[in-house]
Amino acid sequence: MSTPFYVSPQQAMADRAEYARKGIARGRSVVVLQYTDGIVFVAENPSRALHKVSEIYDRIAFAAVGKYNEFENLRIGGVRYADLRGYTYDRDDVTARGLANVYAQTLGTIFSSVGEKPYEVELIVAEVGAAPEDDQIYRLPHDGSIVDEHGAVAVGGNSDQIGSYLDQRHRDGMTLAEALALAVESLARDSNGNSERQLTAEQLEVAVLDRTRPQQRKFKRILGRQLSRLLETESAATTKTDEPSDDDEE
């Protein structure tokens, strides 16, 4: 009788993690940044039908990279969870922390299951608070762990290089135009950290959780002329800053 093929549990989990990471890295990146009035989500996504960034509830939004059908199933499940909890208890009982815990349990169960492949997704769940210090941003890798993030975070693609670039340049008190410009600059960088591309409004998916909106729902997509105007405003401000003043000329 032949001896059954044996793989140690540690090796099996390492192989599953490597499989999921490779699938996630093939997707285009998404970055999430805090700014003065809320949280901005920026994804390189030319599609106007298949969204990487979506609203979950009043003050909560969701961003994802990886296999679309997998993270879309998770998004729908999150919306159902939020609606049911808000209806059963109170709208204030629906929080990003609670939603992140639900996603973590789902991803963790799938990742550790021998009978199915791990999900090739990485998620971000964010909630805008009454003040910047009350904002919450959670990153959920493929294995169901939860990482509490602050300031700026990137997932998918060359997220390590993008995240390092954001950490060096993001600061508190940025305007929406400044945060958007930084996000676009980071997404345009290649795996070596060099900026070789010029991303246009047509190639971007942008949304915000705006704490200053008077309505209960704080999620808003930035589209068309508004997006182009924000990109042009910051580009013009940067160009003006770079030009020498009369006092600098000899």
CATH number at residue 108: 3.60.20.10
Q: Is 22 part of a structural domain of the chain?
A: no
Q: What tokens were used for 214?
A: 């008077």
Is 9 inside any structural domain?
no
Does the residue 16 lie in any domain?
no
Please list the alpha-helical segments (H only) found in the chain.
Answer: 9-25, 68-88, 96-112, 159-169, 176-187, 224-242
Rounded Cα gap, residues 165 and 155, in angstroms: 13
In a domain? residue 15: no
Domain that holds residue 152: 27-239
DSSP-derived pairing of the beta strands 121-127 and 136-140: antiparallel
| pLDDT at residue 241, as a whole number | 44
Mean pLDDT for 139-159 is: 94
CA dihedral 235, 238, 244, 248 (to 10 degrees): 170
Q: Would residue 228 count as lying in a domain?
A: yes
Residues 33-70: tens digit of each pLDDT: 999 999 999 999 988 889 999 999 999 999 999 999 99
What's the pTM value of the predicted model, to 2 decimals? 0.88
Residue given tokens 């499940």 in the structure block: 77
The number of distinct structural domains making up the chain is 1
Is residue 177 in a domain? yes
Residues with Cβ within 8 Å of 183's Cβ and at least 6 positions away in sequence, in order, are 31, 33, 40, 42, 166
**Angle of the 9-25 helix axis to the 96-112 helix axis, nearest 10:** 120
In a domain, 249, yes or no: no
pLDDT at position 193? 58
> What pLDDT is recorded for position 231?
87
Mean pLDDT of the chain, nearest integer: 89
Whether 131 maps to a domain, the answer reads: yes
pLDDT at residue 247 tops 50: no
